[in-house]
Homo-oligomer: A and B are copies of this chain.
Amino acid sequence: MNKEIDKIIKTLSNKEYLDIVYHSPVNNELMPSHSKLKDIVNLFRKIIFPGYFGNASINNNNIEYYIGVNINNVVPLLKEQIKRGLYFNCSNNKNTNCDKINKQADLITLEFIKKLPDIRKKLSTDVIAAYLGDPAAKGYGEVIFCYPVIRTLTNYRIANALLKLNVPLIPRIITEMAHSETGIDIHPGAEIGEYFTIDHGTGVVIGETTIIGNNVKIYQGVTLGAKSFPIDKDGNPIKGIPRHPIVKDNVIIYAEATILGRVTIGENSIIGGNMWITHDVEPNSKILQR
């Protein structure tokens, strides 16, 4: 048995069998760590929603200590992961200079921390929207502590801020974490306004170039996707072209509706469940199942 296994080992270590599947890092830099990123997101959850997350005996007198420690602790952890993301990117672009990554990671981390008050503010509008949108909700607390939409949007809003700071890989990992936990797949590149909520959520897809206004509500199974995408002469999809919907303020999209392509859903519109939309929708429209 040993010999046969050894043959397999040799095969699997062989250069030609490693094409595509093997990552040989620059400078022995490690890949980003899924579990550390989970810890980091959990630390942000404690910072954003103090008293709800973190088993701490927090109160009005000591809250500054807890916020202070959590932020001081998250800074080096986040910096390390950002650095790994930058190195990963660098090692895939051979002629890039990887020397300044350490300083870059410091700067990005600081910029991100500065955005936390804004992230918290947006999430608190999402909490209100989720509460107002669900008669089953008993209060803000239940929404913050139990609702998948808040879990997802916390990850999304963190990931979106990191993406805008040009952090590679990490934003996608953070939204995929939420995707795995809640079945809601929001690309970190999507832009989403305030007072946003998703009910139930499983199966929701919000694509990379989607733009969503304020006060929008969507239900489970809704897709805001691309209709098609152009391919370059080598057969590779062309990156960065706007190809997902624009959803204006105060729109409601019911369960399982599918909206595809760079179309605009005008403000105050209602899209019925199961609808299939590939064209613009006028403001104040009500498009329902026949």
Q: Measuring CB to CB, which residues of chain A are less than 8 angstroms from any residue of chain B?
A: 1-6, 8-13, 17-25, 28, 30-33, 47-53, 55-69, 71-73, 75-76, 88, 92, 106, 110, 113-114, 116-117, 120-121, 123-124, 127-128, 132-142, 144-148, 168-169, 172-173, 176, 179-183, 185, 187, 189, 200-203, 205, 207-208, 219-221, 223, 225-226, 229, 235-241, 243, 255-256, 258, 260, 273-274, 276, 289
Identify which of B67, B124, B137 contacts A13 (C-beta below 8 A).
B67
Q: How many copies does the complex hold?
A: 6
Identify which of B68, B113, B172, B202 contacts A185 (C-beta below 8 A).
B202
Bound form: Cα–Cα A180–B144 in Å: 16
Question: Residues of B contacting A13 with CB < 8 Å?
Answer: 63-64, 67-68
Closest-CB distance, A133 to chain B (whole angstroms): 7
Question: Residues of B contacting A33 with CB < 8 Å?
Answer: 55
Identify which of B30, B47, B237 contacts A132 (C-beta below 8 A).
B237
Identify which of B21, B113, B169, B274 contacts A8 (C-beta below 8 A).
B113
Question: Residues of B contacting A240 with CB < 8 Å?
Answer: 135
Closest to A115 in B: B8
Question: Residues of B contacting A30 with CB < 8 Å?
Answer: 55, 57
Find out whether the CB atom of B145 lies under 8 angstroms from the CB atom of A169.
Answer: yes
Question: Can you spell out 26 A-B residue pairs with CB atoms less than 8 angstroms apart?
Answer: A1-B106, A4-B113, A5-B110, A8-B71, A9-B67, A9-B71, A11-B117, A12-B117, A17-B117, A18-B63, A21-B120, A22-B51, A23-B49, A28-B76, A57-B76, A65-B72, A92-B141, A135-B243, A136-B208, A138-B239, A146-B176, A179-B202, A183-B183, A183-B202, A202-B205, A256-B258
Question: Residues of B contacting A182 with CB < 8 Å?
Answer: 179-180
Please judge, given known A-B contacts A8-B114, A76-B28, A258-B255, whether A17 and B120 are in contact too, CB under 8 Å: yes
Find out whether the CB atom of A71 lies under 8 angstroms from the CB atom of B273.
Answer: no
